[in-house]
Each structure stands twice: as structure tokens, then as C-alpha cells.
Structure 1
Amino acid sequence: MVAFGESGKLSEFKNLTLIGKGSFGKVYRAVRLSDNIEYALKELDMRPMQQREREDCVNEVRILASSTCNPYIVRYFDAFMEGESLWIVTELARGGDMDAKVKRHQKRGEYMPEDMIWNFFIQICQGLKHLHSANILHRDIKAPNIFITGPRSVKIGDMGVAKCTRSGMARTQIGTPYYMSPELWRNLPYDQKSDIWSLGVLIYEFAALKHPFQAQNERQLYERVMRGAYPPIPRCYSPELANVIRMMLTQDASKRPTTDELLALPAVQKHLESAETAMEDMIFNKECLVGTIQVPRILTHLRNRLPGSKYEHDSRDIGENGPVPTSRSSEGRTKRRKDRGSVIKSMDEGLIRRSKSEALEALNSEFFSKKHDSLLQRNRSEVSVLPKIPYNMAKNAEIVRIRRDDVLGRLPPIPTAGSRYSRQELRAFHDRRRPW
């Protein structure tokens, strides 16, 4: 269960719904109160983590906060600490991830359209180009980390193991085995070409609905990756798509193409016209790269080192004279408190007016019921001597008696002091007899 802090940023959200779960974290969808927009909130419990794992979590914040201007990377909005948990706020991918989409196609037994695969390939390639231009290696390109944000729109996410290198080379062996490049298996230094290998495995999976290198265990997988032989993609796809996959799955990393070379291929250029992509030359602005965030020993001190929020606007904070201070300022809080007070006051006034009118109707009904009771008592005594009473009065008294008996027949009997009723029966009796 999510615990809301009294003054923490988590209290700025409502309707938290769990949509994903991992070894150290959970992912929720929630609505932000100030703009009524749904976001994805990733909770990372940093207490059981080792120092290296904590640095990876903070590194994800750093990479995401530095890539907010790219349309092919999941957008970052905020990061904050609640207790000893790190929360990362990003855009919500309503379509889920590509892993779920591949499994749906497997279940239905149908392949993805080729134009859709080209579309996804171009967008992922542009996202990688953006990262590689700043010497950032994603290091975990796979289907679960590609998120669907539209009918044919995807974005790269989950930068938990991404690494910003100075020389463009890395040495740490990390990644998902099915997507790991040969140089990673050999525990050799690797660079951006390792991400290209993972992209080749991913596009093959989109086409064949399975991994190119199938194995029963890790040793067998290592041998098949080193051998580099894989089954061809289904014949329903063009030779151009098979050729691009072959180029990315080249054993020699130096012979693999870069993202720029992939996007410049004639086959890719042919599909750029119909693809739903914004083919803009987006070079990573290294000045916008968030600096290294040091993880303190006391996790609560991390809140002062996280980058600031990057929300576009706050619809509640736009008044007649332009935007007003956001929820972090005292002026903004005072303004919204007054607005909520006026709204609540108007609601209370309306409720009071309705209550008065209902109470008045109840009093009137009670008054007339008492009047009818007295009239019935008087008429019953007079009806016994009909010869002394005109025919009209007797007839009117009979009508009043019938109507009154009809009303009394619909109500439960009044409990007497000697009768035994349970608490629920008494409550039901009072609820039924109340006129409002």
C-alpha cells in the first residue's frame, strides 16, 4: 500500500493504480491534481539496494532529465524522495510495451505488418541516435523497454543501466542475455555498436515473433551467439528488412553500422516518407546534460540533489492575469486554498437551501398528516350518526379515510415498547418513515 506523506510530492497525485512490478520497484499510473493528467510513477525502494544499484537508479533520473526534448525517449517530468524510496514521474505509455504486443501476435498466430516494423525501427533508431550523440549507451535495448505511446508510435524507456561514457567505451558486463552482443559475452570493452546489436535482435523479434538465438540454458545461448547463425525471418517480409537485420547482427562490432548509417540506407529512406516520424536532426545538447548525482549515505538527503520538475504547465494555476505561482510557493497554495474555500462555501449554501426546502416540505406533510388524523377522528364519530350529517360530508369523510389508510398501509408499523426489534430493523423503520 502506498503511504502518502503529509507534505511530500506524492500527495500531489491521486488514484494510484499498480500497473507493473519488479525486484526493487513498482510502477503506478496516477492523476496529478494540479493539471488532471495521468502520469506513470516508478517507485524504487532503495533500502535493500547496494550502493552500485542506488547509483543506477539515480543515473536513470539523470539520463531521462537530460532527454526531455526528444520525441523518441519516454519523457521525464519529476523525481522526488518519499522516505527511502525514489519516485520517478514520466509520461504514461497507454499502449504498454512491445513485449506484450509481440506476445499478443504470438497468441493470435499473425505477423506484424512490415510497414509497422519499419516505423518502429526508425523511431527507435532515432532515439538511440539522440543518446549516442552524447556518448550515452542504453545497454538494455529489449522489447519490454520499448513503450507504445500511440497507434504506431514507440519510445525508448527504462534508463536504469544506461551509461554516460567519456571515451565512448564501457567495460561492465550488463544487459539481458538474449539481447547481449558478442563483445559483452566475451567480457570485452564495448561501445555504441553493442546497442546496435540489441536493436538487430529486437527487430528480428518483431518480424519472427521470437528471438534469433534460441537456447535452453546460458551456455548454449553463448555458443549460438558466438556462432552468429540464426533462422531467416518469415518469407512474407522483404529482402530489405532481412538485409538491415543482417547488418546489425554482424559479429564484428567494427563492421556494424551506426545509427546515422542505418537511417541513411536507401531502404530506410524509402520508408521515412510514410513513417509517422519527425525526421529532425536532433543532436543532443551536451550543455543540457544533467551532471553526475552523488548518492549520499543517508538516502533522505538525496532529495536536495535531484533535478527539478519539468512539467509543461499547470492548468489550475492559470488565472485572468496569467499564470500564478505553482503549488511549491506559498502564494500558489494560498490562492488555491481560497478558491477551494469559495467552491466549498457555494456547495454548502446550495446544500443548505436544498435542506431547508426539503425540511419545509417535510413539516408541511407532517402538518397535513396530523390535520388528516384529526379530521378522521372527527369524521368517524360523525359518520356513526349519518342521519344528522349531510350526504356530502359523509362522502368526503369516506374519501379522506380511504386515502389516509392507503398511505398508512405503505409504512411499517410503529414499534411499541413491548415489541422486540433488532437494531437493523429499527434503523430500517426510521429510514422508511423519514420524509427526506
Structure 2
Amino acid sequence: MDGYNVLKVLGEGSFGRAVLVHHRISDQKYVMKEIRLPMSSSGVENSRKEAVLLAKMKHPNIVAFKESFEADGHLYIVMEYCDDGDLMQKIKHQGGNLFPEDTILQWFVQMCLAVKHIHDKRVLHRDIKSKNVFLTRSGKIKLGDFGSARLLAHPMSYACTYVGTPYYVPPEIWESQPYNNKSDIWSLGCILYELCTLKHPFQANSWKHLILKICNGSYDPLPSHYSYELRYLIKQMFKRNPQNRPSASTILARGCLTKLVKNFSAVLLGNTDLSHGHRRQWEKRMSNTVLDVLENASLLSSSFTREETESGGVINYSENGPRKQWNKEPPQTLLDMLSNADVSLAFKTYTIYKPASENILKGPLSDESKASDEVDGEHEAVVIDSERLEPRSDEDDTDFEEDDLDWVSELKMALKQSG
């Protein structure tokens, strides 16, 4: 802590706390994350991963790493201070007044640039949510909190642990499918929806019905004044089959966003080439600029032929053949396990809460009038998009994923401990 003065506590959690500090030599403000180190050596290494990953993520739209050090059984990570709060705070402060579409798209493009950068480095964030997206008073968006991120050594590498925040968890996780970069895209879509409506896209009164709504794709439509392009973009990001969701590069190549991408890249990253070309494969050395990232990105593919042998996948479809549906459902054991779980919050990472008298889910943007447990789409305001179940080829994307089939047992253990 030498050289730093603590100004105030910004937040506390199971990991430790985050404080605003003043660096005496540079006369700058930073955020210092103080993490209690576990006793085991493996636990210590796991705690250090956030500092290691953050140090590698050098990008104008990612919270900048300054330094890290250990002292008195704690790991300290010093990072950039974003002086205009986070997106969750910004949304809550709107008081029901919707954001202009131009503002939403300016923020969203910057988020996509950050997500594209980490995916280029084969990093899964795994906890993208509005509370982890920060703002500066100069108008920049910064993706932060890499405490849940996972670095994969190879595109086909598999990991074994799932973390995240239930309101932003994609269908494939509840369906016991592998977590991949397209799962981050779903979470990004949840933020985009929140910016448009000031509400969570999926709301329910229980864990069970929240999961069913996510897996059925039941969400209220956007306010009517938003453009067709914006509505279509959210629809694509909420595709139930992760293979059919666009990658960050495909999103950035959309016509409604290319001008904004060029503006940001001209200021921050140099000129961006959005020309179309053949599908690119993962390489040993990944591109670090938007120019390289989007060099060969095409918007949509005209034909496709694919066979999928993984459980829950789309099997043997082609351009001229019958279209198949993503047919995986949440495991019944999971629904049974959560049917009587007393939880009042599904917004915080890692945490399952047991309330004193309520059995409801309530996030920071929850609307009690919309938190119905109906999942069959009877209400006119609820959209169940059958097109979302249809496969779409996205040949620009080479997905990478982690095998994540053991997280259900971890959730069972957490529920047992809270009982």
C-alpha cells in the first residue's frame, strides 16, 4: 500500500473489497481491488489470474491495468478509475426516461470492440453485465471485472467451471451445454436490451421460471420508437442456438454500426477495413486491432452445410434440406432442484441468497408488474420468437468453448449450504 492513500470504499464482496485510492507520486486516482488470498497454493494461483489477464487486456475500451502486488495475505490489483460510474447506475438514474438510440449504439459499439478484443485473445469473460461496464466522463465505455474470466490456451481447449450472473446466463448453460464465446454475446445482448428498456429482458418470480423464460426466449418487445435494425440485432443476439448468434466482429460489420466503428477506430485504434472476404481461422498470433479483426468479416452467409454431433446441437442441415430446431431443454433434475429454492436475488455473481420471507427473484432492474411466471407466451406483450429456433450459418465465426457440465453439482452444493 506504500504510495497510495485510501479515499473511500467503492464496494465489498466475498472476494474482499474495492477502494478508490490516490497515488501520491502521479497525483492520479485509481481503483484498488483487495483480494484475500486463500491458504492453498492452487487457490492463490487462481486468485492471481485476474491480475494476469487484466495485464494482457490492453485496449481503449477495457479498464486499464496499472500494477499488482501482494502484502499481508492479500493480493492488490491497481487499475484505471472510471469516473462516471457503471452502466447499471446510469440505467437506474434514468428514472424511466429512455436513452436515445444514438447514445445506446455509441456505448454498444465500444462494448463490442472490447468483447472482440478479449475473444481474439481466446478469453471468455463469463460475467458480462451492466454492472461490469464502466464509463468515463469523456464518454468512453470500459469493460471491467475479469475475476470470472477464463483464458483458453487453444481454440478447442476445455475448462471445467462455470461462473456468472443468472439474469445474464444464456440457455446453453441451463441446458448443460458447453460455454463458449457466443455465450458472452448473449450476455452482451442482455445489456443492449437493458439500455433500450431500462429493464432485464427475462424476469420471473422464481429461479425455475427465470430459467424457463430464458430457454424459451420469452421477452417483452422493445419500445416502438427504436429502429428495425436495433430490434433485429437483439433478436440475433438472443438466438437460442449459440452457433446462430453473431460474433462480435459480425455485429461490428453491420451497416448500422460500421460508421460508428470507423469513428472510434480512427480516434482510438487507427483506420478500420470492413471489406468482406473468406472465413478466417484462429491463428497462433491473434490480431490486436480492429483493422485486422474486421478485415475479412462478412455480414451473413448465403449457403451452408454442417453436421453437428454434440448433444443439443443442430443435426445434418443444409441450405436445401429441412430446417431443424435446437431441441435441448433444461435438465429436469435442475428444475426440480430449483423449484423450492428460496432465493431473492439472481443478479450477483457466485451468490445465492436465502430471504427471510420471500421466494422471488429481484434484480436491480426488476419490474414486479412484469415478473410473471408465465412462460407459455399467452400474454400479448411476451414475444416467443420461433425464428430464433431456426439455424443460421455464420461462417465468419470460429467458436471456442469450454466444457462446463459440472456446474450443476456446484449449484446443488450451494443450495444445500443455504438450506
Alignment of 1:192-203 (within 5 A): 192-203=181-192
1: distance between equivalents of 2:73 and 2:193? 40
TM-score by length of 2: 0.61
1: distance between equivalents of 2:141 and 2:187? 16
Shift of 1:20: 1.5
The question of whether the paired residues in 1 share the 8 Å contact of 2:65 and 2:78 is answered with yes
2: distance between equivalents of 1:124 and 1:237? 19
Change beyond 3 A, Cα 1:169–1:212? farther
Q: Say which SS state the counterpart of residue 34 (structure 2) adopts.
A: strand
Shift of 1:184: 1.1
Deviation string, structure 1 residues 205-238 (Cα, Å, up to 9, x no partner): 1111111110112111110011012111111211
Alignment of 1:201-240 (within 5 A): 201-240=190-229
Change beyond 3 A, Cα 1:271–1:235? farther
Change beyond 3 A, Cα 1:218–1:52? farther
Determine if the alignment matches structure 1 residue 14 to structure 2 residue 1: no
What is the identity, as a one-letter code, of the residue corresponding to 1:163?
Answer: R
- Correspondence for 1:173: 162
TM-score by length of 1: 0.59
Deviation string, structure 1 residues 34-88 (Cα, Å, up to 9, x no partner): 11111111111124x77776444311111111113x1011000100112101100
Change beyond 3 A, Cα 1:188–1:170? farther
2: distance between equivalents of 1:150 and 1:83? 35
- Correspondence for 2:173: 184
What is the identity, as a one-letter code, of the residue corresponding to 1:193?
Answer: K
Bigger proportion of residues as helix:
1
Shift of 1:171: 4.5
Deviation string, structure 1 residues 84-105 (Cα, Å, up to 9, x no partner): 0110000101111111111111
Within the candidate set 249, 261, 273, 2:250 is matched to 261
What is the identity, as a one-letter code, of the residue corresponding to 1:183?
Answer: E
2: distance between equivalents of 1:99 and 1:82? 32
Shift of 1:190: 2.0
- Correspondence for 1:91: 80
1: distance between equivalents of 2:228 and 2:287? 42
Unaligned runs of 5+ in 2: 274-282, 289-419
- Correspondence for 1:129: 116
Within the candidate set 61, 71, 78, 2:51 is matched to 61
Shift of 1:271: 3.8
- Correspondence for 2:140: 153
RMSD: 2.5
Shift of 1:22: 1.4
What is the identity, as a one-letter code, of the residue corresponding to 1:38?
Answer: K
Shift of 1:169: 4.8
Shift of 1:118: 0.3
Greater RCO (Cα-Cα under 8 Å, separation 6 or more): 2
What is the identity, as a one-letter code, of the residue corresponding to 1:23?
Answer: S
Alignment of 1:37-436 (within 5 A): 37-47=28-38, 54-68=44-58, 70-105=59-94, 108-165=95-152, 166=154, 167=156, 169-272=158-261, 278=268, 280=270
- Correspondence for 1:433: none
1: distance between equivalents of 2:22 and 2:253? 41
2: distance between equivalents of 1:212 and 1:51? 40
Deviation string, structure 1 residues 98-148 (Cα, Å, up to 9, x no partner): 11111111xx22011111110111001010111111111001000110011
Deviation string, structure 1 residues 299-342 (Cα, Å, up to 9, x no partner): xxxxxxxxxxxxxxxxxxxxxxxxxxxxxxxxxxxxxxxxxxxx
Change beyond 3 A, Cα 1:246–1:201? same
Unaligned runs of 5+ in 1: 1-9, 289-436
1: distance between equivalents of 2:287 and 2:51? 16
Percent of aligned pairs with the same residue?
A: 35
Change beyond 3 A, Cα 1:224–1:76? same
Change beyond 3 A, Cα 1:269–1:286? closer
Deviation string, structure 1 residues 179-206 (Cα, Å, up to 9, x no partner): 0111111121121100001000110011
